[in-house]
A and B are shown apart, each in its own frame.
Chain A
Amino acid sequence: MGSSPLKRFTAAAVTLGAGLAIAACGGGEDSAEEDAAAGQEATTGASAGGKAMVNYTSFPDYLDPALSYTQEGWNTLSTVYTPLVTFRRAEGAEGAELVPALVQEMPEVSEDGKTYSMTLRERLEYSDGKPVKASDFERSLQRALILQSGGSSFYFDIEGAEEYFEGGKAKGDIRGITADDETGEITIKLKTPNGAFPYILSMPFASVVPGDTPFENQTKNPPPGVGPYRFQNVRQGRGYELVRNENFPEIEGLPEPKLDRIEVEIKKNQRRQVQDVIQNKVDWIVDPPPADQLREVKAEYSDRYEEYVTNSTYYYFMNHRVAPFDNPEVRKAVNYAIDKRALARLFGGLLEPGCNFLPPGMQGYEKIDPCPYGDPNEAPQVDKARQMIKDAGVAGDEVFVYGNGEDPSRPTTEYLADVLNQIGFEAKPRIIEASVYFQTVGNQKTNAQIGFANWFQDFPHPQNFMFLVDPASIQNTNNPNLGNVEDPEIRKALKEASQQPIEEAANRYAEVDRQLIAEAHVAPYGHRKLTNFVSERVDFENCTVTHPVYDLDLTQLCVTE
């Protein structure tokens, strides 16, 4: 399975600012029980129903679950559409736990790991009242493939899916999927076992929509779904409303929404957004406050502001095929020289310095302690790095550091160039237009030596990070393995781990993580923090649930009237 590199592009541009801030009311009679079931604390002091106003800086890429591949999109769509399995609506590790959503039980996996069997819940209805059929699942996946969704390649492990995608004919069939509308049984056959497949099933691309939904982008008129909310009054580019879906069934782990209505408004000016939250005109903003307002927000509104670490990693790739980074000692020297405290400052403090490639919230994460290159929160060993460069005989070599023109890529690229100069290289930044950056450095012809890279998770499974350093991922164009990491041991370990359930494979991923750092295949330096900043109306203690996949859970937002 290969992840599309698109998430890197979109997430890099969009998720950086993703956070959630909503205001709403919540807490019906059953809400405490449901929250407890979902691992949430009961809501207190908040009234049921009500309305909240949310600001996004840009309109989601699509309001169509088959197509959307940005954090804003998923933040909204996760409230309107539900896949066969999904994540428990809770914070932290609990929120990364898969629960059966539209199916009665978690899929039954055959012994060879290739067949997934499940049965649809009974009497499921879309928000427009029409019944949900088992065959709708296949049609929904077909839509995603025919529309050439950015997530298409995730499903190529299903027998016949890739052929269906390449055939491009809507009337075809994905032979690996069988569905019985009478019994509600759905069977999925894979070409090869994939331990991450349940997570792939939980992605919004696999959300179930009515089988007669046109095979076209439906952003202007989003199809009905089986989610806590439904769309209303979509004004493309300007905003939309989320209205409570009365047909949403009781599902353990997915509590009923607390608000009756959520208004989403697109406001380009982030400073204005912050001012509106301060003045309680807006209840939550998705993007962190701009750097020059952050200090004021943290100082004066700390009772309604929080930061959290996302499942993301910021790192420098070092191309193993291009000198001087084909030399492991040179790569280690770079790791010794990087000051992670300094880099955290370039993120306005919104970076958790770290030594691992896997982020802290990811299964398989085991903190590498001590870090072989020194404590991430202490000064770097520049002198040692300089000596290593000298010993390697590459002092004075010319190095171009690649980055794009947006924050934080540009300043971190300039920083790295300065560090490389300090340890003996003749380094210059090479700044590329952000929209084509990853295509450019992911093209083997560019021969990019070293540069900025980041990744935000698609789903909380280590495979979704490790493919970035998997030798099997190396391609001539759109190469996700930017450093051309070609370690055969890593390849072998990742191949074996990918075929096991995460419970069994977690240790193996942790071992790969350690090996990546020990061999200095990459130079990770931290994990992005995002923020929740809400109005005074929001019950900050009880109603801001930061989900590890969808960020602020809009369904749990509530306001005190």
Chain B
Amino acid sequence: MTTHQDPATALPAADPGEIEHAATGRTGAGPWHLAARRLRRNRVALPFGALFLLLVAIALLAPAFGESVAKTGPNTNHLSDTITVRGQERNVVELDGVPIGPQYLAAKGRYMLGADGNGRDVMVRLLYGARNSLFIGLTASLITTVLAVTVGLLAGYYRGPVDAVISRTLDSLWAFPPVLIGVALGVSLALGGLDLGLFQVRGNSLWIPTLIIGVVSVVYLARPIRGQVLSLREKEFVEAARAHGASDLQIMTRELLPNLVSTVLTFLPVLVANAILLEAALSFLGAGVQPPDPSWGTMLANGVNLLITSPHLTIAPGAMLVLTVLSLNVFGDGVRDALDPRSRVKIGT
């Protein structure tokens, strides 16, 4: 038996969408369908969602761009190389260490956004950096979600000592700034990696910052999940399941978990955005993605010393970071509005 108490199903009678829906005589539109319809009609969120998908697509094309257009890899140094720009030969990096600026299309696709201090193509690193940043952001958010839902469910459902232990642990985690914990863990794991018996991660692996971010962000989702479970466990449908002899595990997985989906979906874009930002911060501080692998954070850090002569080194990754986080946040707002029964987004025409 599964009984969903999704917020989207509890539309008040005064909801214009519901009224209009009833008036058209259409039947069978479930809560997810309604939410999807609301989202489709959100003319702000959808373009930003599309922008995010575009960024993902661009990131996926990084190897093709590197090989076919820029003709270099993300970590290949070209310190003493020269390129031909409009018939003129130019150093990729000048003798005083200043790299070439953006060439856009003047160098046949090479150094479109200039070079960095090591003579690496910024455009190629930006795209590969997008892969790394997005991989970490998305994967870390999934880890956060799995962990947060698990501990939130356990704490909220069992209450008592289990709740006390979990909640105090989360409180402790909450007390430390995530960047501080991230730096501490990142620096200490960067050398020796992580060895948990069967599960081993090398120090320079992307999984190190991914796991760190995934774990330190748990508190942000676990708390609201726990609160919601505390409320849900008192509902009639849970009582009914219990009366039918369902075990605790069955109640948690079949009754409570489905009702948490909308909450998770609301939080997910924000979690991804925060994870990307945290990854950038950690990488900027040298505790995230390890050199020479690019990420927007490491690219920002590398560009700071050449801010005046080579602003492209910070502007390009900074702009990507802003666009990605902005697109996720605006799209996340749209998702939240779509799932919110009190949403002011109209469903009808």
What bracket does the count of chain A residues touching chain B fall in? Answer: 35 or more
Interface 9-mer from A159-167, A346-354, A387-395: A346-354
**Across the two chains, which residue of chain A brings its CB closest to B292?**
A414
Partner among B75, B97, B306, B310 whose Cβ is within 8 Å of the Cβ of A418:
B75
Q: Are A411 and B117 in contact (CB under 8 A)?
A: yes
B305 interface residue, CB < 8 Å from A?
yes
A98 interface residue, CB < 8 Å from B?
no
Q: Are B118 and A414 in contact (CB under 8 A)?
A: yes
Q: Are A292 and B309 in contact (CB under 8 A)?
A: yes
Q: Are B96 and A295 in contact (CB under 8 A)?
A: yes
Give A291 to B310 CA distance when docked, in angstroms. 10
Chain B residues with CB below 8 A from A341, complex form: 79-80
Chain A residues with CB below 8 A from B291, complex form: 410, 413-414, 429, 431
Chain B residues with CB below 8 A from A418, complex form: 75-77, 118, 292
Q: Digitize B106-120: 1 where CB-to-A-CB distance is under 8 Å, 0 elsewhere.
A: 000000000001110
Partner among A292, A295, A343, A410 whose Cβ is within 8 Å of the Cβ of B307:
A292
Q: Are B286 and A407 in contact (CB under 8 A)?
A: no
Q: Are A345 and B97 in contact (CB under 8 A)?
A: yes
Q: Are A431 and B97 in contact (CB under 8 A)?
A: no
The verdict on A417 contacting B97 (CB below 8 Å), with A291-B306, A346-B117 known, is: no
A residues adjacent to B (C-beta < 8 A)? 290-295, 298, 339, 341-349, 379, 405, 407, 410-411, 413-415, 417-419, 421, 428-433, 440
Give A68 to B307 CA distance when docked, in angstroms. 34
Give A339 to B118 CA distance when docked, in angstroms. 12
Q: Are A431 and B80 in contact (CB under 8 A)?
A: no
Residue picked from A294, A379, A440, most chain B C-beta under 10 Å: A294
Give A341 to B309 CA distance when docked, in angstroms. 21
Q: Are B286 and A405 in contact (CB under 8 A)?
A: yes
Chain B residues with CB below 8 A from A413, complex form: 291
Partner among B77, B97, B119, B204 whose Cβ is within 8 Å of the Cβ of A291:
B97
Q: Are A348 and B203 in contact (CB under 8 A)?
A: no
Chain A residues with CB below 8 A from B204, complex form: 428-430
Q: Digitize B262-302: 1 where CB-to-A-CB distance is under 8 Å, 0 elsewhere.
A: 00000000000000000000000010001110000000000
Q: Are B94 and A345 in contact (CB under 8 A)?
A: yes
Within 8 A of A (CB), among B85-121: 93-98, 117-119
Q: Are A295 and B309 in contact (CB under 8 A)?
A: yes
Give A293 to B190 CA distance when docked, in angstroms. 33
What bracket does the count of chain B residues touching chain A fall in? Answer: 20 to 34
Give A342 to B308 CA distance when docked, in angstroms. 22
Question: How far is the CB of B312 from the nearest CB of chain A, in Å?
Answer: 12
Q: Are B96 and A349 in contact (CB under 8 A)?
A: yes
B323 interface residue, CB < 8 Å from A?
no
B191 interface residue, CB < 8 Å from A?
yes
Partner among A292, A339, A417 whose Cβ is within 8 Å of the Cβ of B306:
A292
Q: Are B191 and A432 in contact (CB under 8 A)?
A: yes
Q: Are A414 and B77 in contact (CB under 8 A)?
A: yes
Q: Are B292 and A429 in contact (CB under 8 A)?
A: yes
Q: Are A346 and B97 in contact (CB under 8 A)?
A: yes
Give A347 to B119 CA distance when docked, in angstroms. 13
**Across the two chains, which residue of chain B brings its CB closest to A416?**
B77
Partner among A345, A407, A415, A417 whose Cβ is within 8 Å of the Cβ of B305:
A407
A-B contact list, 15 entries, CB within 8 Å: A291-B309, A294-B96, A339-B79, A342-B77, A345-B93, A345-B94, A407-B305, A411-B118, A414-B75, A414-B291, A418-B77, A428-B204, A429-B291, A431-B290, A433-B286
B187 interface residue, CB < 8 Å from A?
yes
Give A145 to B308 CA distance when docked, in angstroms. 47
Residue picked from B79, B93, B97, B286, most chain A C-beta under 10 Å: B97
Chain A residues with CB below 8 A from B93, complex form: 342, 345
The verdict on A293 contacting B96 (CB below 8 Å), with A414-B75, A417-B292, A431-B190 known, is: no
Q: Are B96 and A415 in contact (CB under 8 A)?
A: no
Other CB < 8 Å A-B pairs besides A341-B80, A415-B77, 15 of them? A291-B98, A291-B305, A292-B310, A293-B308, A294-B97, A339-B79, A342-B93, A342-B119, A345-B95, A348-B96, A379-B80, A405-B286, A418-B75, A431-B190, A433-B187
Give A83 to B306 CA distance when docked, in angstroms. 42
The verdict on A345 contacting B79 (CB below 8 Å), with A292-B310, A433-B187 known, is: yes
Q: Are B80 and A339 in contact (CB under 8 A)?
A: yes
The verdict on A430 contacting B203 (CB below 8 Å), with A339-B79, A342-B80, A414-B292 known, is: yes
Chain B residues with CB below 8 A from A344, complex form: 95
Nearest 3 CB-CB pairings of A with B: A342-B79, A348-B97, A292-B308
Q: Are B292 and A440 in contact (CB under 8 A)?
A: no
Give A418 to B290 CA distance when docked, in angstroms. 14
Give A349 to B93 CA distance when docked, in angstroms. 11
